[in-house]
Amino acid sequence: MKAVIQRVTSASVTVEGKIVGQIGQGLMILLGVEKGDAEVQADWLVEKICGLRIFSDADGKMNLSVVDIGGALLVVSQFTLAGNCNKGRRPSFDTAAPPEEGKRLYEYFVAAARRAGLPVETGIFQADMQVSLVNDGPVTFILER
C-alpha cells in the first residue's frame, strides 16, 4: 500500500462538476492499493499519518501532527501509484489490486482514519476526479507499507 501525503491549507475533489470532498487545513492523501495488501498495511499507514509531526509549531519547526492541529484528511483512491514505469513507455499496473479488493481496502483505510478521530472527506472510488489543493510548504511525503 502506498500513500502520497501532502500538507495542505485546503483541498477538494470534484466529480462531474460537483465537489464531493473538501477540507481546510490538513492532509491530502492519494492512496494506492497493491496485490497482497491487507488491513495491517492500512492500520499502519493510518497510525503513521496521524502521528507524523509535519505541521509547524509556534517556532516554525515541524513538531505538530494533523491530530495536534485539529486538521482533516482528504483521501482519494489512486491506483496509478501501483504503476511500474521501468520498462517501455506505457506503465504496467500488474501490481495494482483488483478493483473489488482495492475498494474494500480503501474504504477500510477511510474507516480506520475516522476511528482515529479525524474528520475525513473522500473522492469516489474509480470515478474520473479532478483534485485541487494548496500544498503548504510545499510539504509532500511518500509512505509505503
Give the span between the Cα atoms of 125 and 107, in whole angstroms. 9
- Has 55 been annotated as catalytic? no
Query: pLDDT (tens digit, 9 = 90+) per residue, 36-59?
Result: 999 999 999 999 999 999 999 999
The active-site residue out of 6, 41, 55, 78 is: 78
Backbone angles phi, psi at 127, to 5 degrees: -80, 160
pLDDT at 145: 87
Q: Which long-range contacts (CB under 8 A, 24 or more apart) does 44-53 make?
A: 44/145, 45/1, 45/3, 45/109, 45/143, 45/145, 46/109, 46/112, 46/113, 46/116, 47/116, 48/143, 48/145, 49/3, 49/5, 49/73, 49/113, 49/143, 50/113, 50/116, 50/118, 52/5, 52/141
Q: How far is CA 2 from the centre of its chain?
A: 9
The active-site residue out of 6, 41, 79, 109 is: 79
Mean pLDDT, the chain, as a whole number?
97
44: Cα within 13 Å, side-chain hemisphere: 11
Go through the domains of the chain in sequence order and give each one's CATH number: 2-135 (3.50.80.10)
* Total-model pTM: 0.95
Q: How confident is the model at residue 141 (pLDDT cuts 50, 70, 90)?
A: very high
Percent of the chain with pLDDT strictly greater than 90:
99
Average pLDDT estimate for 126-143: 97
Query: pLDDT (tens digit, 9 = 90+) per residue, 80-124?
Result: 999 999 999 999 999 999 999 999 999 999 999 999 999 999 999
pLDDT at 36: 96
